[in-house]
Structure 1
Amino acid sequence: MMQNIALNVVANYIMTKYLISVIGPTAIGKTALSIKLAQYYKTEIISADSRQFFKELSIGTAAPTAEDLKKVRHHFIHHKSIHDDYNVGSFEKEALQCLENLFKHRDVVVMVGGSGLYIDAVTKGLDYFPDIAPEVRDSLNYELETEGLEHLQNRLKALDPATYTSIALDNPHRVIRALEVCLGTGKPYSSFLNKAKDQRDFKTLTIGLQADRDTIYNRINRRVDMMVASGLLDEVRNLLPHQDLNALNTVGYKELFRYFNGEWSLDFAISEIKKNSRRYAKRQLTWFRKNPHIVWFNHSSDFDDIAAAVDGLINKTKN
């Protein structure tokens, strides 16, 4: 009897820990809101933006500024190099350890980011995949170089139509990852998804920022112009020797590599950054809208209203 009471006390204590996850499309204002929430709750921030992990990428990823980082302590900002082998599995493990440490002294932690897979890794857990022989990936990378991405996309379509219709097909890393599982296991990548996962010992409250499409697109276009004015070309020029790294096959960098390589004009490269950023925002929203538990706010909502709503959600879950 006493043991059961003790276990209940521990469980109730653990479940008073809350992760506030701030999500939304790129350029919507997540960073500013997460900082205000962290200041309000006197806590720290975990970044779940996979592009902001890399210390060489700052302007093109809209990473928090030095001033932002002084306001609130952030974790997983510029803690890796583009030369490091780092993936979502490593992030899940490290982020959960970080949360465990933070929750020893805080009841609330804020997480922010637009990388849906990395957010889900922390809040829900990853799907399990068997180890695949490295030669499979090496072979697929060779096919990418010699036959192009469309060839790999067609292979995936034949092997796993469900995954073909659900992943970002313009992301070679995602396509290769799905293909290597299909080829290495003889089973569709999609067959390993949505299995039972470990329960988290904290509660997640997900807050989403949204706006109409024209507003999102205009904000993206303005942000890209600001990036260029802030020195994006110099940042990308310094990375030219490393342009073949997977970490640099991302919006804002791959387009300017083509400019520096003489393939595109600067104006066209910038227009492609804007276009690809808008496409990325559309994919983000498609991912997030699969989650019916997100509480959405207009991007221009008053912070006091958002904070009051979050307080209400926390109080509701305690009852």
Structure 2
Amino acid sequence: MTKVLIAIVGPTAIGKTALSIKLAQHYNTEIISADSRQFYKEMSIGTAVPFKEELNAAPHHFIQNKSIEDDYNVGDFERDAISKISILHEKNPIVVMVGGSGLYVKAVTKGLDYFPEVAPHIRTHLNLQLKEKGLIHLQEQLKSLDSEAYETIAIDNPQRVIRALEICIGTEKPYSSFLTNPEKNRDFKTISIGLNAERSTIYDRINQRVDVMIENGLIDEVKSLSPYKHLNALNTVGYKELFQYLEGDWTLDFAISEIKKNTRRFAKRQLTWFRKDDAIKWFDFETDVEEIIQYINSEIE
């Protein structure tokens, strides 16, 4: 039987985890997490790590398997995930992958893009600008040099912004123009399933999720991580806003509203990224799982 990877994608809070578990149980297989925020064992509430009952419902990989102090990037994940998928395929021709981190999903299904080397002083200069003028200044630069990258990359992540900018400046070409390299050959077939909903529904689900995170103790989780706030892993939505509150710069209500706003923006960028992939079969988030299984089986056959 053909080796298959079922990739479940879509915006945050849409129900990807629940679907992945149902599919893993149906095909008696295991789940690869491609959510770059869920790798870290010190972070759970703010990254929406599946609950214990969910983790026990099907075997999961790449969830809380790293420390925030580890140096781990998308290239490392591509290598590790492909290796794990190969091992899992020896037991079962079908494996499920789930995640909203578009670059990490693409790394597994199609391989990473090639970028030319650029002079190291460019990054040094951009890091200096970040320190002196702030992230918004770099974001505006990227918007003017490559609006497509500005709309799709994790714009709140300084490393991603600097990476895109150094390519734009060093090559005098848009960063996004390098995102069209030939796909790597994989020894499995990918069947991509996208979950979606009306924008107002997505936003309502995001707002509700943030409220639940606060109720479940997100503030205490962020407080315990304050000594590590300089690490890249913690420069992420849900954590950086509460650091501002804990430092006395923002009120709690404002910090929570910023988490909701920034998560909504993140969901919009996720959809912009995934909609560029014509191979994704989209389903409404309330679609019965049997209908999705029927589609997957037809693609396998």
Name the amino acid aligned to 1:276.
N
**2:54 matched to 1:74?**
no
Q: Give the structure 2 partner of residue 22 of structure 1.
A: 8
Q: Give the structure 1 partner of residue 277 of structure 2.
A: 291
Q: 1:282: how far off?
A: 1.1
Q: In structure 1, what is the Cα distance between the partners aligned to 2:272 and 2:169?
A: 28
Q: 1:257: how far off?
A: 0.5
SS at match of 1:233: helix
- What aligned pairs does 1:66-215 form with structure 2 within 5 A after superposition? 66-131=52-117, 136-157=122-143, 160=146, 163-164=149-150, 166-184=152-170, 188-215=174-201
SS at match of 1:105: coil
Q: 1:183: how far off?
A: 4.4
Determine if contact 2:152/2:269 at 8 Å carries over to the other structure: no
Name which of 39, 43, 57 aligns with 1:57: 43
Name the amino acid aligned to 2:48.
A
Determine if contact 2:152/2:272 at 8 Å carries over to the other structure: no
Q: Give the structure 2 partner of residue 9 of structure 1.
A: none
Name which of 234, 239, 261 aligns with 1:253: 239
Percentage identity across paired residues of the two chains: 63
Determine if contact 2:153/2:269 at 8 Å carries over to the other structure: no
User: Which runs of no fewer than 5 residues in structure 2 stay unpaired?
Assistant: none
- What aligned pairs does 1:202-241 form with structure 2 within 5 A after superposition? 202-241=188-227
Q: Give the structure 1 partner of residue 261 of structure 2.
A: 275
Q: Deviations over 1:233-286 (max 9, x none)?
A: 110001111112111111110110100010111111111111111111111111
After alignment, is 157-166 or 22-31 more displaced?
157-166
Max radius of gyration: which structure? Answer: 1
**2:248 matched to 1:262?**
yes
TM-score by length of 1: 0.88
Q: 1:71: how far off?
A: 1.5
Q: In structure 1, what is the Cα distance between the partners aligned to 2:284 and 2:173?
A: 42
TM-score by length of 2: 0.93
Q: In structure 2, what is the Cα distance between the partners aligned to 1:94 and 1:136?
A: 30
Q: 1:125: how far off?
A: 0.8
User: Closer, same or farther in 2 for the Cα pair 1:309/1:86, shift >3 Å?
Assistant: same
User: Closer, same or farther in 2 for the Cα pair 1:182/1:215, shift >3 Å?
Assistant: closer
Name the amino acid aligned to 2:210.
V
SS at match of 1:110: strand
Name the amino acid aligned to 2:185.
Q
